[in-house]
Homo-oligomer: A and B are copies of this chain.
Amino acid sequence: MKRRLLLVSNSTLHGGGYLQHCQQNIQDFFGKDVKRILFVPYALHDRDAYTKTARDKFKTLGYEVDSVHETPDPVDAVRKAEGIFIGGGNTFRLLKALYDNKLVTEIRKRVLQDGIPYMGSSAGTNVSTISINTTNDMPIVYPPTFAAIGLVPFNINPHYLDADTFFSYKNPKSMLITQYHEESDTPCVLGLREGSMLLVEGNKATLLGSTKARLFQRGKQTTEYEPGSDLSFLLTDVQ
């Protein structure tokens, strides 16, 4: 499998600039061969403003950005893309727009079969997984399914936070994920704290960034992983 993914927890870290904390990872990931990146701004309401933000940032890293919302034929834009970046915002809005524009299958094909690099941040990371069942976002619109692009066979919870820092002592995020695992046949959930990201190259997965990640598996104790950990075992169920 040619798959290459950079799945980032969060776009902005502790008041730093947009994608600043992972800019070196972005350059390492897209490399010198990719010149133009197709941006998907669907997760935010103001797509023009969002595209400008992404375009300005990627310009400083040496990449041109085309936004899928500026093209007359989004499917064709995906077919011709050298690389894809889906930005954060509201995951429900993003997934619905991906289905409305018939991009889910097309992105899956390009990434898994053609091997073009896929970067996601926050909501863009959520939709790259098997489903959006573990998003933190508010369900402001109704997508046709919670099944997502399925580039990996597990779930990710971006912006993962430990109980003591979460907004309510009664609803730590670990408890919300536990609720998910009360349902039958739910996959693993990787809690990516802000500052961390997952690099997937073929069947190899590595935790990158500055913070640890916590893995939730149905019926098992949770496990903590340090940056640099090999998480390739998460990929073994891939279809």
- Please list the residues of chain A having a beta carbon within 8 angstroms of any beta carbon in chain B: 10, 12, 45, 89-90, 92-93, 132-142, 145-146, 159, 161, 165-168, 170-171, 176-177, 179-180, 182-183, 186, 194
Oligomer copy total? 2
The answer to whether B45 touches A179, judged by C-beta atoms less than 8 angstroms apart, is: yes
| Min C-beta distance of A177 to chain B, whole Å | 7
The answer to whether A180 touches B45, judged by C-beta atoms less than 8 angstroms apart, is: no
The answer to whether A167 touches B165, judged by C-beta atoms less than 8 angstroms apart, is: yes
Q: Which residue of B lies closest to A175 (CB)?
A: B138
The answer to whether A138 touches B141, judged by C-beta atoms less than 8 angstroms apart, is: no
| Min C-beta distance of A103 to chain B, whole Å | 20
In the assembly, what is the distance between CA of A140 and CA of B155, in Å? Answer: 11
* Chain B residues positioned under 8 Å from A194 (CB to CB): 168
In the assembly, what is the distance between CA of A109 and CA of B160, in Å? Answer: 41
Most buried by B among A89, A134, A141, A167: A167
* Chain B residues positioned under 8 Å from A133 (CB to CB): 138-141
The answer to whether B170 touches A161, judged by C-beta atoms less than 8 angstroms apart, is: no
| Min C-beta distance of A170 to chain B, whole Å | 7
Q: Which residue of B lies closest to A145 (CB)?
A: B142
The answer to whether B167 touches A167, judged by C-beta atoms less than 8 angstroms apart, is: yes
Give 24 CB contacts A-B under 8 Å: A12-B170, A45-B179, A45-B182, A89-B179, A92-B139, A133-B139, A134-B138, A134-B140, A135-B138, A136-B171, A138-B176, A138-B179, A138-B180, A139-B146, A140-B176, A140-B179, A140-B183, A141-B183, A142-B145, A142-B146, A159-B168, A161-B167, A166-B167, A167-B167
* Chain B residues positioned under 8 Å from A182 (CB to CB): 45, 140
* Chain B residues positioned under 8 Å from A179 (CB to CB): 45, 89-90, 93, 138, 140
The answer to whether B140 touches A180, judged by C-beta atoms less than 8 angstroms apart, is: yes
